[in-house]
Amino acid sequence: RIDRQLLWEQMGFPSFPENVQEEDIKIKMLFGDYILAYCEDLLVDGHRTEASKQVKRVRELLSGEPESRLHTSLGVFLKRYGFLEEAGQEYELALKSPFITTEERSNLFTNIGNIQRARGKLQEAVDRYSQALELYSENRKALYNMAVVKGEMAVRQKDYRAALSHFKKALEIDPTEASLCLNIGIIHSKGLKEYRRAKDYFSRCIRLAPGTELAERAQAELEQLPPLKEKP
């Protein structure tokens, strides 16, 4: 196994020259990417506290740059590794850029909605998806995620019919999403006692994701269904 810390010691730990803030964006991006690579290795090795310090360094380095894609990319990196608050802040910075298209702005609102969803703030997520769709009504990610989140909200309220409606709308947008089939099957079986429909969705989940944990869960749910009466 490669000793990442030893490798970084041999390469030299990332550091900024004193005048780096005066450099152009390409130089800043070069240093930022270098430090994020170091940060990624720290996270893989479980050194989250030190990684957080490195994240702060990169964000300070790039904070004054108006390029939206720069902050968007940093937001994607931060969300991937669980820095949700910081990721949301980067997406907000990207929204302030004067160099941004309407579709890009819509995508940013979708990203912020995903952050809110990950933080358990479902209504705030829906609000952000709505903003995304006001800007670009064909934003499929916003349409899909809004349907899923509304389904999750309905499940919390035990409104299973509404949950089914939202989840099935999401499945129309992405018919390949096995996790939706599993969730729909569970609602049919445990929430509504509609076992035949549950069987159809569990079977569909297994077909879409064979050999995966999702398929194993769907198979387990199938095996728990009561015997189905033959149709006359």
Query: pLDDT at position 26, please?
Result: 78
**What's the mean pLDDT in 74-99?**
92
C-alpha span between 139 and 4 (Å, rounded): 41
DSSP 145: H
The answer to whether 115 and 79 are in contact (CB under 8 A) is yes
Provide the token pair at 177: 């999403």
**Backbone dihedral region of 153: left (phi > 0), alpha (psi from -120 to 50 degrees) or beta?**
alpha
Rounded percentage of the chain residues whose pLDDT exceeds 90: 67
pLDDT surpasses 70 at 1: no
DSSP, res 177? -
Contact at 8 Å (CB) between 182 and 205? Answer: yes
Domain boundaries, the chain: 1-100
pLDDT in tens, 20-33: 556 667 777 777 88
165: how many CB neighbours lie within 10 A of its CB? Answer: 14
CATH for 1-100? 1.25.40
Residue 175: φ, ψ to 5° = -70, -5
Distances (CA, A) of 209 to 126, 141, 182: 28, 21, 11
DSSP conformational letter for 15: -
pLDDT tens, residue by residue, 119-162: 999 999 999 999 999 999 999 999 999 999 999 999 999 999 99
Q: Which two tokens stand for residue 223?
A: 């095996």
pTM score, whole prediction: 0.83
Cα separation of 132 and 126, whole Å? Answer: 10
Q: Phi and psi dihedrals of 71, rounded to 5?
A: -70, -35
User: How confident is the model at residue 178, as a pLDDT?
Assistant: 97
Concatenated DSSP letters of 52-89:
HHHHHHHHHHHTT---HHHHHHHHHHHHHTT-HHHHHH
